[in-house]
Amino acid sequence: MSFTVLTAEFSHESNTFSRCPADYAAFTDRGIQLGDDAIAARAEANTPIAGFLDIGRPAGWKVIHAISAAAQPSGPVTRDAFDRIAGVIVETAKAHAGKIDGVLFGLHGAMVTEFCEDGEGELLERVRAVLGPDVPIGITLDPHANVTRKMTDLANIVVSYKTYPHVDVRETGKLAAGIMQRTMKGEIRPVTLRAERPMLEEVNGGRTDIGPMVERIAKARAYEKEANVFAVSVNGGFGNADIHEVGPTVLVTCDGEREKHQAFAEAMVEDMWQRRFEKVTEFLSVEDAVAEAKSYVAASGPLIIADYADNPGGGGYGDATGLLKGMIAADLKDACFGPMVDPEVAAELRKGKPGSTVSVKLGGKVDPEIGGGPLELTGTLVSVSDGDWVGDGPMMGGLQASWGPCAVLRVGDVEILVTTIRAQMNDLQQFRAFGIDPAAKRVVGLKSMQHFRAAFEPIAGKVIVCDSGALCTPDLSKLPYRRVRRPLYPLDKVA
């Protein structure tokens, strides 16, 4: 029996403290793709649609793919952007209403819009209004999702990635699609149960390579072998969202024995609560990180310094100057740094001639008070580019992306990648496509929280992480929350 399945990808992680809203142009920067064009570009990569098709193609599904749209994490999604992208999905559902047997969406789970705190819930509500309550809906989520009650009420199947860095996006899509196939065949009637605790986020940001989450993910996989348990999702949450339902959750997608499965979810999330003080990541100051870099000997690979606090992948502006300023002041040798997101300087440098000496005021333009002001620098323009690159690492392999107009500027012995578009470092090609080989450097400074590890740890001699005090500082108590439910850890003392 052949089924007709509506699919779409619509993803944004919304840092509500950011000054930069996610307008429609922010989504076009990443590339909005429709229908078969999206499938052609994304069907063999680490994407949700690839996982959906891994089940759908051999099963003979008729796949109606509406759209693939994502923007870099930033402030809330504008009403215009949300309505235009969600509108494509809803209109596709309307065009095929009565013929759709199932729905699969690749979402994030931490989307906030200008008009509501729950972008995913809003999308699901609009689709349900078209298709009715009986068509099964499955969604995949990032484990930094702030999973709301509305999401689990409106979606039958909710499955989150189990890795951070997220190298299992396709695998997760395949799992969700497999559950959907059984649902459409009438074998199962899944629901998703939810458990939470009063926390902003899991203490280690959901890291799955070390720390308590390793054990939790192992327990989740083991429980998925229980009868009529189809998926267990352990979500660390995204604490940079000032919304009522912020925080970590554990989900169980199952059929029957709800009391037993709810108890499992509650025990898992209780473990997050009880172990909320078990930090495994040491955050250095910029001064301490640079001091270590000064004396570092690259016997087995470069020293990687990740600026967690200015991570564009968490909504950071990407133009904080603290770490770069320290690296230049220390006169670090054989070093590189990127990205420094500065559209003005990137455009200025694009007009220059490689090999020429240039002077610029770099970075620190969006919010100098938290990220440091512009750096007045004089250096050599190494190269200019349109910024396009193709990933070859565990997360981005085969996917096309772009920094927008960009340039490489050398100041002292530090090569700086200056970009137009914000993005975190998670693939070696983000440097290599522009003539910088991080594996050959002594010190690599980059902006990322955790995703960089998938591609950069294999080349590193050592990895250290610093807190430059920018927007994504790990000290969430510094942020001006107004909408979260209270009491909430670590903002309040909670028994």
Tens of pLDDT, residues 298-310? 999 999 999 999 9
Task: Answer for the pair 420, 341: CB distance below 8 angstroms, yes or no.
Answer: yes
Compute CA distances 332 → 290, 324, 378, 442, 445, whole Å: 8, 10, 16, 9, 11
CA distance 147 to 143: 9
Which helix (H) or strand (E) covers residue 254, if one does?
Answer: strand 249-254
Q: Where are the beta strands (DSSP E) in 356-452?
A: 357-362, 375-385, 388-390, 400-402, 406-411, 414-419, 443-446
CA distance 217 to 214: 5
Region 318-326 average pLDDT: 98
Which residues contact residue 133 at a Cβ distance below 8 angstroms, ignoring those fewer than 6 apart? Answer: none
Q: How confident is the model over 336-364, as pLDDT tens digits? A: 999 999 999 999 999 999 999 999 999 99
C-alpha dihedral sign at 176, 177, 178, 183: positive
Q: How confident is the model over 99-133, as pLDDT tens digits? A: 999 999 999 999 999 999 999 999 999 999 999 99
Region 183-200 average pLDDT: 98
pLDDT of 158 > 90? The answer is yes
pLDDT of 469 > 80? The answer is yes
Region 171-187 average pLDDT: 98
Residue 29: predicted pLDDT: 86
Residue 1: predicted pLDDT: 74
pLDDT of 494 > 90? The answer is no
Q: Would you mind telling me the total number of residues written for the chain in this entry?
A: 495
Residue 31: predicted pLDDT: 86
CA distance 91 to 66: 9
| pTM score, whole prediction | 0.95
Region 283-294 average pLDDT: 97
| Helix count and strand count (H, E) for the chain | 15, 20
CA distance 332 to 290: 8
Residue 240: predicted pLDDT: 97
CA distance 418 to 91: 40
Task: Answer for the pair 34, 64: CB distance below 8 angstroms, yes or no.
Answer: no
pLDDT band at 154 (very low <50, low <70, confident <90, very high): very high
Work out the percent of the chain whose per-residue pLDDT is above 90: 97
Compute CA distances 324 → 131, 411, 419, whole Å: 52, 10, 15
pLDDT of 415 > 90? The answer is yes
Residue 162: predicted pLDDT: 98
Tokens of 365: 């333009």
Task: Answer for the pair 193, 259: CB distance below 8 angstroms, yes or no.
Answer: no
Q: Where are the beta strands (DSSP E) in 277-413?
A: 283-284, 303-307, 335-341, 357-362, 375-385, 388-390, 400-402, 406-411
Task: Answer for the pair 108, 121: CB distance below 8 angstroms, yes or no.
Answer: no
pLDDT band at 493 (very low <50, low <70, confident <90, very high): confident
Region 241-267 average pLDDT: 98
Which residues contact residue 272 at a Cβ distance below 8 angstroms, ignoring those fewer than 6 apart? Answer: 197, 199, 202, 203, 212, 216, 236, 248, 250
Which residues contact residue 351 at a Cβ distance below 8 angstroms, ignoring those fewer than 6 apart? Answer: none
Average pLDDT, whole number, for the chain? 97
Which residues contact residue 105 at a Cβ distance below 8 angstroms, ignoring those fewer than 6 apart? Answer: 7, 8, 9, 10, 48, 89, 123, 124, 137, 138, 139, 140
pLDDT band at 436 (very low <50, low <70, confident <90, very high): very high
pLDDT of 144 > 90? The answer is yes
Tokens of 94: 């309307």
Which helix (H) or strand (E) covers residue 106, if one does?
Answer: strand 102-106
Taking Cα atoms as reference points, which of 263, 255, 68, 280 lies closest to residue 179?
255
| DSSP assignment string, 29-91 | HH--EEHHHHHHHHTTSSSHHHHHHHHHHHHT-EEEEEEEEE--SBSPBPHHHHHHHHHHHHH
CA distance 290 to 330: 7
Region 155-170 average pLDDT: 97
Which residues contact residue 10 at a Cβ distance below 8 angstroms, ignoring those fewer than 6 apart? Answer: 67, 68, 69, 70, 85, 86, 89, 105, 106, 107, 111, 123
Compute CA distances 243 → 93, 195, 199, 202, 207, whole Å: 29, 17, 12, 16, 22
pLDDT band at 265 (very low <50, low <70, confident <90, very high): very high
C-alpha dihedral sign at 310, 78, 48, 143: positive
Tokens of 104: 């699969």
